[in-house]
A and B are shown apart, each in its own frame.
Chain A
Amino acid sequence: MYSDKVMDHFSNPRNVGDLDNPDGVGQVGNPVCGDIMRMAIAVKDGVITDIKFKTFGCGAAIATSSMVTELARGKTLQEALELSNKAVAEALGGLPPVKMHCSNLAADALHLAIKDYLERNAGAADGAGIDPASIKVEDDDHHHDADTAE
């Protein structure tokens, strides 16, 4: 049911772990839904220089988390914010339809980490003028609506 690329990222996930002194941390999901993703980023001069994840969840949840760390590393904050959940899924060669909503939240976790960084560093020059309040991810409730959202 999963592509080879998904299975590769699932069995050999990239960038698992925590950062010692992260500049921003974002978490999405909850244990009731069966998926929790946490992203930690290091930022220098407006660029994501390091990124680590920890994820509780199914194969798709782990693979998308791993993929988003690969995609985000070295990107500017603005570029990273433009990375969508859909783009992450596409980079993995697609996900089974039922997984598109329930386990494809890794970009949201990344965006929340960036938001956390911007809030901690209000007015910093490398914030590129992004208003942290403008960064929004879908409410977790959409987990339960995924069937109808298909």
Chain B
Amino acid sequence: MRRVYLDHAATTPVRPEVFEAMIPYLTERFGNPSSIHSFGREARMELDRARERTAALIGAQPEEIVFTGGGSEADNHAIRGAAMTALGKRNHIITSAIEHHAVLDTVNSLKALGFDVTVLPVNGYGLVDPADVRASMTDRTFMVSIMHANNEVGTVQPIREIAAIAHERGALMHTDAVQSVGHLDIDVNELGVDLLSMAAHKFYGPKGVGALYIRKGVRISPLITGGGQERKRRAGTENTAGIVGMGVAAELAMAELDLERARETALRDRLIAGLLSTIPHTMLNGHPTMRLPNNVNISYMYVEGESLLLNLDMAGIAASSGSACTSGSLEPSHVLMAMGISHEVAHGSVRMSIGRGTTEEDVDYVLGVMPRIVEKLRSMSPTYDKKGECCIKDLCANPQDCMRAGGASAPNAPASVSASMGQAMR
């Protein structure tokens, strides 16, 4: 059976070139980079090269890169480290409602230490309004942490504008760029961020390794203390093989970025247009253009996400959903909820994320399979009937948002896009 992996936002395969480069550092070049002998020195040399390559990918200096055990650790380090340094001086942090839980839960954990937390709302596209950031800033704000691109709906935030606002009041700007590094052109100086989180496994590097960019001159407390590794910013013997892999993955991503971004954007738009035009009662979640090149997130009304995923899986297609049923929790995706999307629409959301291996044939295969799956599930759904009368409007939490009549409008979405979604929805 054909297998189509459309979950690259969850993780990507390690590229063969990356794997090849890693092998020696697991075997004969096993030295500890902190050792002064030749075994240590050869590991140190390659570690330094990886640091240069990783820095180059985001326009940073090598000494501004601290390798971590992944994206979540980088987020924790940035937020907790800055909070510890701010202790006794500033006690307020601003973030958004659609952050990854590595940021959201970490920020919220600061409340117990007496910090004030502002969680900004987003509009129907998942965009943070820079004016909201400005209005929330105080002289006690030590950090603004807003993600670069959202992992679920792919919306890309106006980070440059937000960073400038943070700096007006002397706060640090952190961005979780785990989904965008290696996929979008990123220059930390152009964005104006002080701290940026990244993870190797989102751009064809290994899992368990990431990095935090810390702008030169910015001082934050370490999260992990012990040895003096990473210029005393992250203790623990370096994951040499993983870091080497990350460096090679970064170099390859940088070399291929423009071509691959254009290729994926074309596939993304083909998939979005195909799904919206062949399946009625569907809605694109997230911004139509300010969007990751590989992200497709669509809600299929009257069906539930996990059922869609199981059927897709039976057809060899791997995707993910914002439905509560797939998260192990009872609430649907906090991102879709924050965007003002009703529960019943959020339950029917499916994210497909394209990658290097995705072909036009893969997209067309999905376009051939998906309408049948949706129709099959709708035919057994009590909320759907073909006559066009909505069966759940009495139960509906947001009947005004009902997609059934074709008068689709995403709550909080600017009027122009509501209109275009209405057309796309049929």
Stretch from B163-171, B185-193, B213-221, B322-330 contacting the other chain: B322-330
A98 interface residue (CB < 8 Å to B):
yes
A27 at the interface (CB under 8 A from B): yes
User: Are the C-beta atoms of A36 and B382 separated by less than 8 Å?
Assistant: yes
Contact B343 A31 (CB under 8 A): yes
Say if the beta carbon of B383 comes within 8 Å of chain A: yes
User: A59 and B380: CB pair below 8 A?
Assistant: no
Q: Which of A10-18, A41-49, A74-82, A113-121 is the interface stretch?
A: A10-18
The dominant DSSP class at the B interface is loop
Q: Mark A48-91, 1 if CB is under 8 A from B, else 0.
A: 00000111111111100000000000000000000000000000
0 or 1 for each of A2-37: is its CB under 8 Å from B? (1 = yes) = 100001001101001100000000010011111111
- Report yes or no: A58 in contact with B323, Cβ–Cβ below 8 A: yes
On whether the beta carbons of B395 and A34 are closer than 8 Å, the reply is: no
Contact A57 B304 (CB under 8 A): yes
Report the bound CA distance from A56 to B331 in whole Å.
16
Q: Which residue of A lies closest to B325 (CB)?
A: A58
Residues of B with C-beta under 8 A to A54: 380-382
Contact status B397-A31, CB under 8 Å? yes
The reply to whether A31 and B392 contact each other, CB–CB distance below 8 Å, is yes
Of all chain B residues, which has the CB nearest A59?
A: B310
Within 8 A of A (CB), among B159-189: none
**CB < 8 Å neighbour of A32 from B304, B305, B323, B397:** B397
B260 at the interface (CB under 8 A from A): no
Residues of A in contact with B, size category: 35 or more
Contacting pair B330 A56 (CB below 8 A)? no
- Report the Cα distance A33→B302, complex, angstroms: 13
Chain B positions within 8 Å of A111 at CB level: none
- Whole-angstrom distance from the CB of B408 to the nearest CB of chain A? 17
| Interface assignment of B379: CB less than 8 Å from any CB of chain A | yes
With A10-B310, A31-B343 already in contact, the answer to whether A98 and B328 are too (CB < 8 A) is: yes
**In whole angstroms, how far apart are the Cα atoms of A27 and B383 in the complex?**
11
Determine if B347 is an interface residue (Cβ-Cβ < 8 Å).
yes
What B residues does A146 contact at CB under 8 A? 330
Nearest-CB distance from A30 to chain B (Å)?
Answer: 5
Closest to A98 in B: B328
Contacts of A13 in B (CB 8 A): 380
B344 at the interface (CB under 8 A from A): yes
- CB atoms of B343 and A34 under 8 A apart: yes
CA distance A10 to B308 in the complex (A): 11
Can you list 6 A-B contacts (CB < 8 A)?
A13-B380, A31-B395, A33-B330, A34-B332, A35-B304, A103-B325
- 8 closest residue pairs by CB, A with B: A31-B344, A58-B325, A58-B306, A54-B382, A38-B382, A34-B347, A32-B343, A56-B381
If A36-B392, A57-B304 are given as contacts, then 12 extra A-B residue pairs at C-beta distance below 8 Å, sorted by A number, are: A2-B310, A7-B310, A11-B310, A31-B344, A31-B383, A34-B324, A55-B380, A56-B383, A58-B305, A58-B306, A102-B325, A103-B325
